[in-house]
């Protein structure tokens, strides 16, 4: 058991590259998060009754809020190079809202769309206070003190495990860089952009040549470059603004599902933050930093509701995987990516051009990026005694139940109605349980934390890796925490002391 190592397999450089490379790396982060944003809009907007113009505005709103939330998190949140993007966790409660508002109750599809999205706004606003209270009351940070490296292994693993089979970007990069040594750095940093560009260009050629003219609807939507997000439906300039869809509608019966989603995103983001810290060469985030980040995530969800988004926010797993793929764990690069998110959310025609990338291309790159994050979770086993059968039992049970229980709930959830396997007379109770147990990281956290802290916990502290992790969890437990998580521009001096924000002197070097 190793108790001293804490860096990633290959630590990120202390400073980001200069010049055009920095902007290209930031643009690469924008492209990676774009796929999930477009996919969420494709899933929800048609079922809400929205047309292509409504989908364009929804995507613009999601991008705009992702840019703001990412900027907030990197400046005064975790300070880690993580992108905050739209969360798939909210799809189940949103589908429940859609199912409770059938078409026959409205005079037009657009009227139905506006009613549903205003109801989503109200639910997001109310549910955001769950994250805000958990974070700024320090409750979430205190809960994370029960985590050990043994718990982090299955949590981060299931955060990274996605439903994709095989992809080619990593393999292509690994082979091409052998052609010439001078190309290694370029291919390491921008290999993903090259692969996306080649596949996208090939898809555009096939679309123009008419290869998909006589195929099924599903294949057209997957392969054509003019099906995902038509450029003609996007406005030239349209800036999202508060309550752009109208006054929010507050529905008590639908709020509980959103509250369950807010709890789930707290768990998922926590696992993602640990993975990001490891790939960026930072120390594991202390408890007060996690509290601060979850509280700020709640504020981000509140803004999502105010600006009229269709889902809340969470830390982007795929962008964390990009840190490992490029070996660049720079906060500045991620902050620059927010400028692309905000720019393309305002100038819709330009954003629609990049949103025309076929979704299967994103699926191919995500299987590599998710795989990297899953491997980061496995790397935490070096701090645990894996020769101890008790540890193997906790690890295996958490990993297996985290994947199998969530898969059961996902498989038995109707993606048209949002109805899951829990079917009682109380719809609000169904929404909470179906949402929570559909998340593999949440199930892994629940199972791992309970079993690890109740099964011979006192006598196996060193075997579980606590001597390595506990110093990092404390505010002043390790001097390197100051280096990575301090606030910029003496910002801490303007924050009331009752909030869980640190007071550091040195600037970070991520």
**284 contacts 277 by C-beta, under 8 angstroms:** yes
Q: Is residue 107 part of a domain?
A: yes
Residue 438 CB neighbour total at 10 angstroms: 27
Q: How many CA atoms lie within 13 A of 112 on its CB side?
A: 21
- pLDDT of amino acid 183: 56
d(CA 507, CA 446): 35
The dihedral sign for the CA sequence 487, 489, 493, 494: negative
Secondary structure tally for the chain: helices H, strands E: 20, 2
Q: Is 374 helix (H, G, I), strand (E, B) or coil?
A: helix
d(CA 182, CA 301): 44
φ, ψ of residue 254 in degrees (nearest 5): -105, -10
- pLDDT of amino acid 489: 66
φ, ψ of residue 313 in degrees (nearest 5): -115, 155
Q: Cα–Cα distances in Å, from 199 out to 52, 185, 223?
A: 25, 22, 11
Nearest to 394 by CA among 312, 454, 317: 454
Nearest to 12 by CA among 328, 260, 475: 328
φ, ψ of residue 502 in degrees (nearest 5): -80, 165
- pLDDT of amino acid 208: 76
Would you give the distance in Å from CA 189 to the centre of its chain? 21
- pLDDT of amino acid 167: 40
Please, where are the H alpha helices in 347-388? 348-355, 359-379
**217 contacts 235 by C-beta, under 8 angstroms:** no
φ, ψ of residue 195 in degrees (nearest 5): -65, -45
Two tokens at 484?
């990575």
Would you give the distance in Å from CA 29 to the centre of its chain? 12
| DSSP state string for 227-276 | TSS-GGGS-SS----TTTT-S----HHHHHHHHHHHHHHHHHHHHHHHHH
Q: Is residue 4 part of a domain?
A: no
Full pLDDT tens readout for the chain, 510 residues: 444 445 444 444 444 555 788 899 999 999 999 988 988 998 899 999 999 889 999 999 999 999 999 999 999 999 999 999 999 999 999 998 998 888 888 989 999 999 999 999 999 999 999 999 999 999 999 999 999 999 999 999 988 875 443 344 444 444 444 455 555 666 667 777 777 788 778 777 877 777 777 777 666 666 777 665 567 777 888 899 999 999 999 988 889 989 999 999 999 999 999 999 999 989 999 999 999 999 999 999 999 999 999 999 999 999 999 998 888 888 999 999 999 999 999 998 888 888 778 877 887 788 888 889 999 999 999 999 999 999 999 999 999 999 999 989 988 888 777 788 988 888 888 889 999 999 999 999 999 999 999 988 888 888 999 999 999 988 877 778 877 888 876 665 555 544 444 443 444 444
Q: Is residue 15 part of a domain?
A: no
What kind and span of H or E run contains 84? strand 84-86
**116 contacts 49 by C-beta, under 8 angstroms:** yes
Question: Domain range for residue 477?
Answer: 20-145+164-358+467-492
Q: Is residue 80 part of a domain?
A: yes
Q: Is residue 268 part of a domain?
A: yes
**How many domains, in total, are found in the chain?**
1
Q: Cα–Cα distances in Å, from 182 out to 28, 190, 406?
A: 21, 14, 45
First to last CA, the chain: 28
Q: Is residue 445 part of a domain?
A: no
d(CA 82, CA 71): 10
| DSSP state string for 300-347 | HHHHHHHHT-SS-EEE-HHHHHHHHHHT---HHHHHHHHHHHHHHHHS
- pLDDT of amino acid 233: 75
d(CA 348, CA 236): 5
Two tokens at 64?
């705009």
Two tokens at 24?
């290209």
Nearest to 188 by CA among 175, 203, 198: 175
Q: Is residue 377 part of a domain?
A: no
Q: Is residue 228 part of a domain?
A: yes
């Amino acid at each position: 058991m190793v108790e001293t190592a804490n860096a990633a397999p290959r630590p990120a450089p202390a400073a980001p590259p200069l010049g055009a490379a920095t902007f290209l790396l930031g643009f690469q982060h924008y492209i990676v998060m774009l796929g999930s944003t477009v996919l969420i809009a494709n899933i929800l907007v048609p079922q809400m009754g929205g047309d292509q113009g409504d989908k364009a505005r929804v995507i613009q709103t999601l991008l705009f809020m992702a840019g703001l939330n990412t900027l907030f998190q990197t400046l005064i949140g975790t300070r880690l190079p993580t992108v905050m993007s739209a969360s798939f966790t909210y799809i189940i409660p949103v589908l429940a809202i859609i199912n409770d508002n059938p078409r026959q109750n409205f005079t037009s599809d657009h009227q139905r769309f506006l009613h549903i999205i205003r109801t989503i706004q109200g639910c997001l606003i109310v549910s955001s206070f769950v994250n805000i209270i958990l974070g700024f009351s320090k409750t979430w940070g205190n809960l994370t003190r029960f985590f050990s490296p043994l718990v982090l292994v299955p949590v981060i693993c299931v955060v990274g495990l996605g439903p994709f089979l095989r992809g080619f970007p990593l393999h292509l990069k690994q082979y091409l860089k052998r052609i010439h040594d001078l190309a290694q750095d370029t291919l390491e940093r921008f290999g993903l952009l090259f692969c996306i560009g080649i596949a996208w260009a090939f898809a555009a050629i096939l679309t123009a040549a008419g290869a998909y003219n006589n195929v099924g609807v599903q294949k057209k939507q997957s392969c054509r470059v003019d099906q995902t997000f038509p450029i003609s439906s996007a406005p030239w300039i349209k800036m999202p603004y508060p309550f752009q869809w109208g006054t929010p509608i507050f529905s008590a019966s639908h709020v509980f599902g959103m509250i369950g989603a807010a709890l789930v995103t707290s768990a998922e983001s926590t696992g993602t933050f640990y993975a990001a810290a490891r790939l960026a060469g930072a120390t594991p985030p202390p408890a007060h930093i996690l509290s601060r980040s979850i509280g700020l995530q709640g504020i981000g969800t509140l803004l999502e509701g105010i600006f009229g988004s269709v889902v809340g926010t969470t830390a982007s797993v795929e962008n964390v995987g990009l840190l490992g793929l490029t070996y660049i764990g720079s906060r500045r690069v991620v902050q620059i990516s927010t400028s692309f998110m905000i720019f393309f959310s305002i100038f819709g025609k330009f954003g629609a051009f990049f949103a025309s990338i076929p979704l299967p291309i994103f699926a191919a790159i995500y299987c590599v990026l998710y795989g990297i994050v899953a491997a980061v979770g496995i790397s935490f086993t070096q701090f645990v005694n894996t020769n101890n059968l008790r540890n193997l039992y906790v690890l295996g049970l958490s990993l297996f139940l985290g994947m199998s229980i969530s898969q059961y709930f996902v498989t038995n959830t109707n993606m048209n109605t949002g109805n899951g396997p829990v079917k009682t007379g109380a719809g609000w109770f169904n929404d909470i349980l179906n949402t929570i147990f559909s998340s593999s990281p949440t199930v892994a956290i629940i199972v791992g934390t309970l079993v690890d802290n109740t099964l011979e916990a006192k006598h196996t502290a060193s075997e579980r890796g606590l001597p390595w992790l506990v110093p990092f969890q404390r505010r002043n437990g390790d001097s390197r925490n100051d280096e990575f998580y301090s606030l910029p521009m003496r910002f801490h001096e303007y924050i009331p002391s009752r909030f869980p924000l640190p007071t550091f002197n040195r600037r970070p070097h991520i």
